[in-house]
Amino acid sequence: MKVWDIYTRLWHWLLVLGIFFQWLSGEVLDDQMQNHALIGYTLLGMMIFRICWGLIGPEAVRFTRFVPSWTTLSGYITKSNKAIFVSHNPLGALAVLAFIVLITLQAASGFFMEDEIFFTGPLYNWLSASTTSLIAELHEIAFTGILLLIVIHIFAVIYHRFKHEPFIVKAMVTGNKPLTNPFQPLPAVQLHIRAWLCIAVSIISVWLLVNHLPGWLGVEADFY
């Protein structure tokens, strides 16, 4: 049965590519800062999309359906015989939330960065120099958090893949899991309308944040 819709799957694999490019352009290459910012804004938009999708998307990706209560979470952690969840399991759900929070923080802190050569983020001149440099530290710390989470995520996926869910990685590619899906599927037209609504919300939000927020906050425009 179809569990992951096409937008969620595209979102996941574009996220993997995006994070890889941000690592490459932030840590390895030194002439890619404009593209680093551009992909950073795109990743911010993708987080806004996922929040919107978690509110109005199909049931399997909705926060109300997969974010666990304390009882479900502690029950899952303490039980040795783990149930198979059609959407994310309770620990996986926490990882999804942590990814969204960390990547949003990372992209937002980028607005305060500069590379001492060519690039100045849109909010670089907004706060005092000491606050801005603290935020720049956050840009490094949050990325360490993201890397750590990626390592845990990949180990968790491999563990479940070999322990009792041989289909999970394939399911993030094809969308299908050989399980009875208890969720109501969205009719195709509804799925696309809702997805494009979320895409529009995220594009407009990022455009306002990058192009207009500095003006609203009275930040002196630098070249960015």
The residues of the shown chain that bind ligand HEM, judged by CB under 6 A, are: 8, 11-12, 15-16, 19, 22-23, 26-27, 33, 36-37, 40-41, 43, 50, 61, 88, 92, 96, 99, 103, 106-107, 110-111, 113-115, 119, 121, 139-140, 143, 150, 153-154, 157, 168-169, 172
Q: Which residue is nearest to ligand HEM (CB)?
A: 110
State which residue, 63 or 192, has the beta carbon closest to ligand HEM. Answer: 63
State which residue, 68 or 92, has the beta carbon closest to ligand HEM. Answer: 92
- Can you list the alpha helix ranges (DSSP code H) found in 164-220? 168-174, 188-207, 213-216
State which residue, 150 or 192, has the beta carbon closest to ligand HEM. Answer: 150
State which residue, 161 or 192, has the beta carbon closest to ligand HEM. Answer: 161
Q: How near is the Cβ of 63 to ligand HEM at its closest, in Å?
A: 10
In the block, residue with structure tokens 């070249």: 223
Task: List all residues 6 or more positions away from 67 whose beta carbon is below 8 Å from its beta carbon.
Answer: 93, 97
Q: How near is the Cβ of 139 to ligand HEM at its closest, in Å?
A: 6
Cα–Cα distance for residue pair 87/1, rounded to 1 Å: 12
State which residue, 73 or 157, has the beta carbon closest to ligand HEM. Answer: 157
Is the distance from CB of 136 to CB of 142 less than 8 angstroms? no
Partners of residue 40 on adjacent β-strands: none
Q: How near is the Cβ of 207 to ligand HEM at its closest, in Å?
A: 14
Q: What would the two tokens of residue 153 be?
A: 């995520």
In the block, residue with structure tokens 């563990």: 159
Burial of 4 (0-12, 13-18, 19+ CB in 10 A): buried
Q: Looking at this protein, which amino acid is placed at residue 154?
A: I
Q: How near is the Cβ of 143 to ligand HEM at its closest, in Å?
A: 4
